[in-house]
Protein backbone atom coordinates (compact mmCIF):
# COMPACT_ATOMS: atom_id res chain seq x y z
CA UNK A 1 0.00 0.00 0.00
CA UNK A 2 2.84 2.40 0.84
CA UNK A 3 4.39 1.96 -2.62
CA UNK A 4 1.06 2.82 -4.29
CA UNK A 5 0.83 6.01 -2.23
CA UNK A 6 4.45 6.82 -2.99
CA UNK A 7 3.88 6.37 -6.73
CA UNK A 8 0.72 8.47 -6.59
CA UNK A 9 2.67 11.21 -4.84
CA UNK A 10 5.39 11.16 -7.52
CA UNK A 11 2.80 11.36 -10.34
CA UNK A 12 0.98 14.21 -8.59
CA UNK A 13 4.25 16.04 -8.09
CA UNK A 14 5.33 15.51 -11.72
CA UNK A 15 1.97 16.73 -13.00
CA UNK A 16 2.07 19.74 -10.70
CA UNK A 17 5.54 20.77 -11.91
CA UNK A 18 4.60 20.23 -15.58
CA UNK A 19 1.51 22.41 -15.31
CA UNK A 20 3.34 25.06 -13.28
CA UNK A 21 5.77 25.29 -16.22
CA UNK A 22 2.86 25.66 -18.68
CA UNK A 23 1.20 28.28 -16.48
CA UNK A 24 4.38 30.26 -15.97
CA UNK A 25 5.14 30.16 -19.71
CA UNK A 26 1.71 31.67 -20.34
CA UNK A 27 2.23 34.29 -17.63
CA UNK A 28 5.48 35.29 -19.33
CA UNK A 29 3.95 35.32 -22.82
CA UNK A 30 0.69 37.15 -22.22
CA UNK A 31 2.20 40.46 -21.03
CA UNK A 32 4.47 40.47 -24.09
CA UNK A 33 1.43 39.89 -26.30
CA UNK A 34 -0.29 42.78 -24.52
CA UNK A 35 2.69 45.05 -25.23
CA UNK A 36 2.59 44.22 -28.93
CA UNK A 37 -1.20 44.58 -28.98
CA UNK A 38 -1.00 47.91 -27.19
CA UNK A 39 1.57 49.20 -29.66
CA UNK A 40 -0.44 48.11 -32.73
CA UNK A 41 -2.46 50.80 -34.47
CA UNK A 42 -6.04 50.97 -33.14
CA UNK A 43 -8.47 49.22 -35.48
CA UNK A 44 -5.71 47.60 -37.52
CA UNK A 45 -5.64 43.94 -38.61
CA UNK A 46 -2.52 43.56 -36.46
CA UNK A 47 -4.46 44.68 -33.39
CA UNK A 48 -7.20 42.13 -34.12
CA UNK A 49 -4.61 39.39 -34.55
CA UNK A 50 -3.03 40.16 -31.16
CA UNK A 51 -6.45 40.09 -29.49
CA UNK A 52 -7.07 36.66 -31.06
CA UNK A 53 -3.69 35.36 -29.88
CA UNK A 54 -4.37 36.59 -26.35
CA UNK A 55 -7.76 34.86 -26.23
CA UNK A 56 -6.24 31.59 -27.45
CA UNK A 57 -3.38 31.75 -24.96
CA UNK A 58 -5.84 32.40 -22.13
CA UNK A 59 -8.25 29.61 -23.12
CA UNK A 60 -5.84 26.93 -24.34
CA UNK A 61 -2.84 27.35 -22.02
CA UNK A 62 -3.49 29.61 -19.06
CA UNK A 63 -6.96 28.58 -17.88
CA UNK A 64 -6.42 24.80 -17.98
CA UNK A 65 -2.97 25.19 -16.43
CA UNK A 66 -4.08 27.27 -13.45
CA UNK A 67 -6.89 24.81 -12.71
CA UNK A 68 -4.58 21.78 -12.81
CA UNK A 69 -1.89 23.58 -10.78
CA UNK A 70 -4.37 24.35 -8.01
CA UNK A 71 -5.98 20.89 -8.00
CA UNK A 72 -2.68 19.01 -7.96
CA UNK A 73 -1.16 21.44 -5.43
CA UNK A 74 -4.05 20.88 -3.04
CA UNK A 75 -3.78 17.11 -3.52
CA UNK A 76 -0.04 17.21 -2.87
CA UNK A 77 -0.43 19.26 0.30
CA UNK A 78 -3.17 16.93 1.49
CA UNK A 79 -1.40 13.64 0.73
CA UNK A 80 1.79 14.89 2.39
CA UNK A 81 0.00 16.46 5.40
CA UNK A 82 1.66 19.83 4.78
CA UNK A 83 -1.19 22.15 5.74
CA UNK A 84 0.49 23.14 9.01
CA UNK A 85 3.80 24.11 7.40
CA UNK A 86 4.64 27.84 7.45
CA UNK A 87 6.55 27.69 4.16
CA UNK A 88 3.44 26.24 2.48
CA UNK A 89 1.30 29.10 3.79
CA UNK A 90 3.79 31.59 2.32
CA UNK A 91 3.81 29.66 -0.97
CA UNK A 92 0.02 29.63 -1.13
CA UNK A 93 -0.05 33.39 -0.50
CA UNK A 94 2.34 33.90 -3.43
CA UNK A 95 0.34 31.54 -5.66
CA UNK A 96 -2.76 33.57 -4.78
CA UNK A 97 -0.88 36.69 -5.89
CA UNK A 98 0.06 34.98 -9.18
CA UNK A 99 -3.54 33.84 -9.61
CA UNK A 100 -4.73 37.42 -9.10
CA UNK A 101 -2.11 38.62 -11.57
CA UNK A 102 -3.40 36.03 -14.06
CA UNK A 103 -6.95 37.31 -13.57
CA UNK A 104 -5.83 40.91 -13.96
CA UNK A 105 -3.99 40.05 -17.21
CA UNK A 106 -7.11 38.34 -18.56
CA UNK A 107 -9.18 41.39 -17.68
CA UNK A 108 -6.66 43.76 -19.23
CA UNK A 109 -6.62 41.67 -22.42
CA UNK A 110 -10.42 41.97 -22.66
CA UNK A 111 -10.27 45.73 -22.08
CA UNK A 112 -7.50 46.10 -24.65
CA UNK A 113 -9.56 44.13 -27.18
CA UNK A 114 -12.32 46.74 -26.65
CA UNK A 115 -9.82 49.52 -27.37
CA UNK A 116 -9.24 50.58 -23.77
CA UNK A 117 -5.52 51.28 -23.40
CA UNK A 118 -5.03 52.03 -19.72
CA UNK A 119 -1.28 51.39 -19.41
CA UNK A 120 1.77 52.22 -21.47
CA UNK A 121 3.95 49.65 -23.19
CA UNK A 122 6.68 50.43 -20.64
CA UNK A 123 4.33 49.74 -17.73
CA UNK A 124 3.31 46.43 -19.29
CA UNK A 125 6.97 45.51 -19.79
CA UNK A 126 7.64 46.16 -16.09
CA UNK A 127 4.62 44.06 -15.12
CA UNK A 128 6.13 41.23 -17.14
CA UNK A 129 8.71 40.83 -14.36
CA UNK A 130 6.14 39.95 -11.69
CA UNK A 131 5.82 36.21 -12.40
CA UNK A 132 9.58 35.68 -12.56
CA UNK A 133 10.22 37.30 -9.19
CA UNK A 134 7.30 35.53 -7.53
CA UNK A 135 8.28 32.17 -9.06
CA UNK A 136 11.85 32.55 -7.78
CA UNK A 137 10.60 33.11 -4.22
CA UNK A 138 8.22 30.15 -4.51
CA UNK A 139 11.03 27.85 -5.66
CA UNK A 140 13.14 28.95 -2.67
CA UNK A 141 10.24 28.30 -0.30
CA UNK A 142 9.64 24.80 -1.72
CA UNK A 143 13.26 23.69 -2.02
CA UNK A 144 14.91 25.42 0.96
CA UNK A 145 11.85 25.53 3.27
CA UNK A 146 13.38 28.38 5.28
CA UNK A 147 10.71 28.26 7.97
Q: What is the pLDDT of residues 2-60, one digit of tens each?
A: 677 678 999 999 999 999 999 999 999 999 999 999 999 999 999 999 999 999 999 99
pLDDT confidence of residue 3: 73
Instruction: Examine the pLDDT at 1 and tell me if it is beyond 90.
Output: no
Task: Please say whether the beta carbons of 101 and 130 come within 8 A.
Answer: yes
Neighbours of 62 (CB within 10 A): 22
Name the domain count of the chain. 1
Domain of residue 89, residue span: 2-144
Q: What is the spatial distance between Cα 69 and Cα 75, in angstroms, rounded to a whole number?
A: 10
User: Mean pLDDT, to the nearest integer, of 104-124?
Assistant: 95
Q: Helix, strand, coil proportions of the chain in percent (round to 5)?
A: 85, 0, 15
pLDDT tens string 55-103: 999 999 999 999 999 999 999 999 899 999 999 999 999 999 999 999 9
16 known ligand binder: yes
- At residue 128, φ and ψ (nearest 5 deg) are -65, -15
Output the pLDDT for position 4: 73
pTM to 2 decimal places: 0.92
Residues 34/54, Cβ–Cβ less than 8 Å: yes
- State how far the alpha carbon of 127 is from the alpha carbons of 29, 30, 68, 123, in Å: 12, 11, 24, 6
Q: Does 91 carry a binding-site annotation?
A: yes
Confidence class for position 114, pLDDT limits 50, 70, 90: very high
What is the tens place of the pLDDT at every residue in 123-147?
999 999 999 999 999 999 999 999 9
Amino acid sequence: MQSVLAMTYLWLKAGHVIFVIFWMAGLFMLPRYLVYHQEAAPGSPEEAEWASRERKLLKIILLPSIIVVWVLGILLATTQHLWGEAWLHAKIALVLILSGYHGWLASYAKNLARGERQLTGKQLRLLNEVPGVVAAVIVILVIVRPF
